[in-house]
Structure 1
């Protein structure tokens, strides 16, 4: 038979009501009494009835991580370190994480939010904006009384994200320190005529421009909304006499077409062209890329901390910016002679 609160009370030599309150988090008892109860519970192998606790408190002890919307032809991903960070912060308070995904058609009205809470049995949401979140869900969450925090979105409150501008400025300074002067910003995912598809495009460009201006050098942007003919586009600008000696790339994925394009002419990335970018790991295939690393685990921990602070205060919390860390690789060298 399972161990009950009554069994723990007998083993601890205390009343059942007192033991029940202690096991449910009450701190009104002496530290010695609390320690005695938990020692008895551990010795007997007592497991709390989480269902009963939920009925009493009206809370589930869980937070849902809402995956960003992706279309059928997009590749989504889970950041392991981000999940570990959120889980660790929740586990410290005996809570857990629920990973959830919604089809776009469910993101329609604020009436859906209580329904989602019932279905998933969670108390709040962490919403990831790694891809573009439909305006409807942003408006829905703003109107809803359900607590939520955000990742990867540019808002003044309730967000945890990296300091993109500072990271890009640092990346550019690293290239400048190696002697590069013809440095370009590379972005194949943004059309300058229509604007950025994500706030980080503009912020990384801004950080690069600030560093170049501070160095008294002209900024240069290479890219566009390049969906096809990536290699042809890359080889075209690499073949010009005024090609840069180094690039700050919005996406680390561009290391592949760059390396391939350079190989056509017998050149190497890191020798004829230096490269630095942003990401979660600096291993790209068999090459170690110079990268500004996103502190994914810390982001996960901080977003839960922000959510808890928001719930405790009953009001929005200022957005928290986390620094990226430089991780050296093999893609930066001195300017070619």
Structure 2
């Protein structure tokens, strides 16, 4: 999944590339699938184009997708057309020049600390990329699917607030932070003067720390694992990794994506049935896929899914750990594992 920054960069690059093959006097045509690979939902793409037009003033929208008399949108009718203004070239050059980092020395952080800050920065970046420059960036104070009760929610929110204050006061990555106690439960902020430098620094440092960690503890991989007398157990790590028996990496869901949110909630609430209503009300998750598909996306296929899950159309039961007795009842001796 592209971050907000990557989406802006990709769109700008495509517009700049297509301008060179567009006849003079005609709008530059951009296709959401042919040119952008379907990575932009319609509303998001429109918001970006209107941002470029109204806030950045680098282009004017000359054409929008059209439907025929039957309400059907054909491939050729999906094109967006834009005319560039005189400000486009400067915007393009500035956006693609990597800022000179102002961060010369920072205290060394361990992998987990880097990961927590980096996760928050990714959330901010995703929202920043699709937020008008005149509006505040907002992120949730709490992801309820990742906490078990009010006490845990309080601790989770406090930790996020500490990270945001650090990014504001020490890093100057964000500014005008507002943490409002209301029903929306959002944190409000704007990008600060050091935003890009800080973002790039944490991205690079986390990549290095993560590579070192994975090199030293990469799970072994096999296609068939005898169950024998061992029980099976899943650990869902803070790095969003679904790991079986501390050895097999089954999947690594996208941060705060649907699979991540569902797995986080199930992991916190294992060994009891959970209905769709509970996921929506307590976990504040509205699954767009079937529960069975989510289980499959998480790396649990066939017998492995049978071992850990009982799934119906409107409920799910995550068994963790799974004992030998439970496996015997399911008549499972060998389980095929598709490790990453």
TM-score range, shorter chain: under 0.3
> What is the TM-score of this pair, normalised by structure 2?
0.24
TM-score (norm 1): 0.24
Larger radius of gyration: 1
